[in-house]
Amino acid sequence: MTDDRQLRVSKIENGTVIDHIAGGQALNVLAILGIDGTAGEVVSIGMNVPSDRLGRKDVVKVENRELSQSELDVLSLIAPAATVNIIRDYDVVDKHLVERPDHVTGILQCPNHNCITTEEEPVDSRFEVLDDGVRCEYCDTIIRENLAAHILV
Amino acid sequence: MRQDHIISAKQLSRADIETVLDRASDIASDPGAYADRHPNALLGLLFFEPSTRTKMSFSAAIKRLGGDIVDMGPVEYSSVKKGESLADTVRVVEGYADALVLRHPSEGSAKMATEHVDVPLINGGDGAGQHPTQTLLDLYTIRENAGLDDLTIGIMGDLKYGRTVHSLAYALTNFDTRQHFVSPDSLKLPRNVRYDLHEAGSSIKEHTELDDILPSLDVLYVTRIQRERFPDESEYREVAGQYQIDAGTLEAAKDDLTVMHPLPRVDEIAYDVDETSHANYFQQAHNAVPVRMALLDMLLGGDQ
């Protein structure tokens, strides 16, 4: 048990730890951040870790990379309770909650197959963030359920 | 009104609408006064879908202002056939014209096109999205017949894919209106339109039967139930038959009910309605010219 716990919470020297992600959403968090390992980042994922606050939570650690505020903001779409810790030399130097942005660009695919953003045109998808979902700024389609299914990867 | 592009009825305020309609009234009462208003203006027509009324009325409007058109022509004879993107097409044609009208089968196409051009661009219909200039001529027709406030309007037919319905519903939120939507369950208003109407605080009710509300209506706006939306022909026939009106149907209506249709009709309005005082759909189509003249006049700098 002690070994397991040490493995889960082992510290990283530099990078970002995203904590309090809803259980099962860690891979979607990586997808929404465009992190797939091809850039050589060392990524550690804890899934369905026991949590007092969430019951079950996921944790993602990305070594040697500090995520930008805009990257963190889009996290709010699928991980509104997430906390983000920036780590330098094994210490937490910055800790904050994600914030919901007004818009997200190039992150989600519009589910309307007749939307111009799904065609071979030089245009990024762009969504307005609503209180309870997102809305395509081109065709007005509203997505309320299962946002993660619409992440562009 | 100072707008660079006309993309959605959502962007039109009550003041914007009234300014266009007032200008259209001036034009209709004295068209000759506007005959040389824009003698060198060229309007670019980019129609990626078939159109009779929208295309011809824009052509007539610019010519009656003294200008002319440059027309992309049918898609099959254009560079689109070679695989050119819409973004490139509009960028090229803006160099030939002072304003553009775009009709395209994809929702959001007009908005995307505005990101690539500096000349005014008018959405002439984008898929199941919006058709704001149709709405302006619809409102002009409604104002002529029933006024625009303290109005009970029924909108019937294909409410899901009907772009003229979406634009009209948005625009009517600027006025004191009660909107009743009549359709089969499968063709009810899309979620995004219902969301906007709710946000605007609009009074709307949805029905499956016209009989429920016909006697209370000042205006009945009928749209075509599109056969191509149904996977099964018999399913279409069953539904379409429920949303046809004839002169007999209208005996239950107010004497001054105005019946409108953005046309083309197929069989949703029987020909015997044409002979009644309710029929206003041909006048509605004719109103396209003064209304589009007014809009073009303003977009091309007629206020300066």
User: What does chain B look like in DSSP terms, one character per residue?
Assistant: ---S-B--GGG--HHHHHHHHHHHHHHHH-GGGGTTSSTT-EEEEEESS--SHHHHHHHHHHHHTT-EEEE---GGGSGGGGT--HHHHHHHHTTT-SEEEEEESSBTHHHHHHTT-SS-EEEEEETTS--HHHHHHHHHHHHHHH-SSSEEEEEES-TTT-HHHHHHHHHHTTSSEEEEEE--GGGPPPHHHHHHHHHTT-EEEEES-GGGTGGG-SEEEE----GGG-SSHHHHHHHHHTT-B-TTGGGGS-TTPEEE--S--SSSB-GGGGGSTTB-HHHHHHTHHHHHHHHHHHHTTTT-
**More confident: B299 or B1:** B299
Question: Which range scores top for mean pLDDT: B54-63, B186-195, B199-208?
Answer: B54-63
* Mean pLDDT value across residues B15-30: 97
Residue A8: pLDDT band with limits 50, 70, 90: low
B169 against B238, higher pLDDT: B169
Of A40-49, B55-64, B209-218, the least confident: A40-49
Distance from B112 to chain A by nearest Cα, in Å?
Answer: 7
Contact with chain A for residue B80, Cβ under 8 A: no
pLDDT (mean) for A34-44:
86
User: Which of A116, A135, A142 is closest, CB to CB, to B112?
Assistant: A116
pLDDT band per the 50, 70, 90 thresholds, residue A146: confident
Can you give the pLDDT at residue A9? 54
Residue of B nearest to A119 (CA): B106
Predicted local confidence at residue A131, as pLDDT:
86
| Known catalytic membership, residue B82 | yes
CA distance B116 to chain A (A): 10
Residues of A with CB under 8 A from a CB of B: 112, 114-117, 119-123, 135-142
Q: Taking 80 as the threshold, does the pLDDT of residue A10 lie above it? A: no
Nearest Cβ partner for B112 among A114, A121, A141: A121
For residue A33, what pLDDT is reported?
A: 82
Cβ distance B107 to A138 less than 8 Å, yes or no, reads yes
Q: Is the ipTM of this complex over 0.85?
A: yes
> What per-residue confidence (pLDDT) applies to A3?
47
> What pLDDT score does A96 carry?
84
The pLDDT score that the predictor gives to residue B234 is 84
B54: annotated active-site residue:
yes
Tell me the pLDDT of chain B averaged across its residues: 94
Over residues B41-67, the mean pLDDT reads 97
